[in-house]
Amino acid sequence: LCNAMCLTLPLLLLQEGRCLYVILLMALYWCTEALPLAVTALLPIVLCPFLGILPSSKVCQQYFLDTNFLFLSGLIMASAIEEWNLHRRIALRVLMLVGVQPARLILGMMLTTSFLSMWLSNTASTAMMLPIANAILKSLFGEKETSKDMNRENEENQASLQQNKLYTVPTEMQFLASTEDKDLTEEKEISSDAVLELKKEEEYKTNIWKGFLISIPYAASIGGTATLTGTAPNLILLGQLKSYFPECDVVNFGSWFMFAFPLMLIFLLMGWLWISILYGGINLRGWRTKKSNIRVDAEARAREVIQEDYQKLGPTKFAEQAIFFFFCVFAVMLFSRDPKFIPGWASLFAPGFISDAVTGITIVIILFFFPSQKPSFRWWFDLKAPNTETQPLLTWRKAQETVPWNIILLLGGGFAMAKGCEESGLSVWIGGRLHPLEGVPPPVAVILITIVIALFTEFASNTATIIIFLPVLAELAIRLRVNPLYLMIPGTIGCSYAFMLPVSTPPNSIAFSSGHLMVKDMARTGLLMNLMGVLLLSLAMNTWAKSIFQLGTFPAWANIHAENTTSALRAVENVTLSAL
């Protein structure tokens, strides 16, 4: 114990020891939520200067990097989409196309939610889709809460019919040949069959209801991984890459989309099959059996509800068309800025001057002055024509109310922690303690990292999880002499694979708060979802990701960092020995 204290005390007196204290304190606050997450993210502004880790000028600028502005542009675009109900029109249109059978409806819900989550926040996508799902479920099955009362009422009605000899109408031959005892036996048999059928329908109804509700947050978490702006961990990876490896220009919106979008589609399809089979949307045993009249009528009502809701939106407004146009321009420009396999439009300008943040902010600025109504040019030719002021597609007041500004601070806190690790030498110190892992094969390391992070993020915020783990993964990659992206990308995406608990992600909590799901439902479904995510991610990293990110070689930008790390590690060891 004395030896351990002697070794630990000098470390705490060093700069990297003080930085480690800040990180552990913030990790504790993030995991326990003793303070709001955004408030905890502000602690580096106070602690880093006071503890001599970083000057305030270096800490504060981490809160407004270009990565933060890229994320801000996505949040503002999401506000404009919500303002004009474009998301609802897209969702209802997709559901009209896929059909109203339960398995198809679940697929439609998952496709729509994942598409929205690629551009909006996972929480917002879930909150948008759940009311639509509830309306469809009520049209299919009626009110879930009153189902038991309805069954009890049906049983009472059947009992009264039996007592009054009104349950069945026998044929003439049956009436002449039957006795009173035989009639009573037949009535009891029919009654038991009817009760059994009602129980089956009730169980089917409950399972489909659960399948609908649980598919939406899962699809939101999966869809958010497909784009850099889809979820905060993706942008934290981009920001920390720029901090640790300034020469790395491999990851941008286009290259990430080429890697993550196919992975998202495969995982979404596998997840849909698992949820549909588990909750009765797809019946492998009785797929040839004829559907009951109750289910046929329910599906017809659901189709009517979807069409009625779509008609309530009315004809497509000019504002919706304009938002959709700018949304497409937003996505295309981000994708084509520097897609790597061909020269992008950014090559027309000075190298290094145009980033994804420039593209995103350019588009969203237009939203604040582009008119929401079709402009009239009569006043150009008629001086007496009224020149009324038109409302823009998005007002600043609306953006203030709907943009979650706390996430910007959360990103900034993560970047400040990363900068502190780099400047203080903590990342180098951590790298020096990773000798036992140097013999682990890289493919095995990918699987282990994804499993550990996916389990950790079940209990902690995915943003806090990736902020804590990315510096360690970067140093581990240097030790293993593999491309740092080979470990950092699985760690980043693994943070979004939190499916087992209601507290794992806000989308899970929103779906669980509906009252129709139990913890065991999410645990049973999420366990296999986590396993599928780990295996599919490992497959992606060892196949198409290698060609997109050049993962087969140890890059020059990482080699420079490795040389600096080695020299810094020797300096840290010398300082530690001299302190002892």
pLDDT digits (tens, 9 = 90+) for 357-388: 898 899 999 999 998 888 776 656 666 656 66
Identify the pLDDT of residue 209: 85
Q: What angle do CA 230, 61, 224 make, to 5 degrees?
A: 5
Contacts of 528 (CB under 8 A, 6+ apart): 274
Q: In the chain, where are the structural domains located?
A: 13-143+199-284+296-342+355-373+390-579
318 versus 340: the higher-pLDDT residue is 318
Mean pLDDT of 73-87: 85
| 452, pLDDT greater than 60 | yes
Burial of 580 (0-12, 13-18, 19+ CB in 10 A): exposed
For residues 18 and 561, the model is more confident at: 18
pLDDT at 475 over 70: yes
pLDDT averaged over every residue in the chain: 78
- Which of 60-74, 201-215, 366-380, 566-580 comes out lowest in average pLDDT? 566-580
Q: Give φ, ψ of 371 to 5 degrees.
A: -70, 145
pLDDT at residue number 172:
37
3-state helix, strand, coil in the chain (%, to 5): 75, 0, 25
Q: What Å distances lie between residue 399 and 221, 359, 369, 396, 574, CA to CA?
A: 24, 19, 13, 5, 53
Give whichever of 241-255, 481-495, 499-513, 556-570 has the largest mean pLDDT: 481-495
Q: Over the Cα atoms of the chain, what is R_g?
A: 29
Q: Using H for helix, E for strand and C for coil, what is the string for 511-549?
A: HHCCCCCCHHHHHHHHHHHHHHHHHHHHHHHCCHHHHHH
Residue 578 is predicted with a pLDDT of 47
Closest CA to 392 of 409, 372, 406: 372
pLDDT at 516 over 90: no
Q: Specify the 3-state DSSP secondary structure of 408.
A: helix
Q: What is the pLDDT of residue 2?
A: 43
Share of the chain above pLDDT 70, in %: 78
Note the pLDDT of residue 565. 53
Q: Which residue reads 């905060």 in tokens? A: 232
Query: Of 486, 512, 511, 553, nearest to 251 (Cα)?
Result: 486
Rounded CA gap, 167 and 164, in Å?
8
Residues 47-71 have pLDDT tens digits of 999 999 889 988 998 888 888 888 8
Q: What is the pLDDT of residues 88-139, one digit of tens each?
A: 888 888 888 887 788 888 898 899 899 988 887 788 788 878 888 877 777 7
CA distance 192 to 311: 44
Please work out, in degrees rounded to the nearest 5, the angle formed at the alpha carbon of residue 298 by the alpha carbons of 292 and 304: 140
> Is the distance from CB of 245 to CB of 557 less than 8 angstroms?
yes
Residue 245 is encoded by which pair of tokens? 């490896």
Closest CA to 472 of 244, 311, 318: 244
Read off the pLDDT band of 178 (50, 70, 90).
very low
Q: Three-state SS for 67?
A: helix
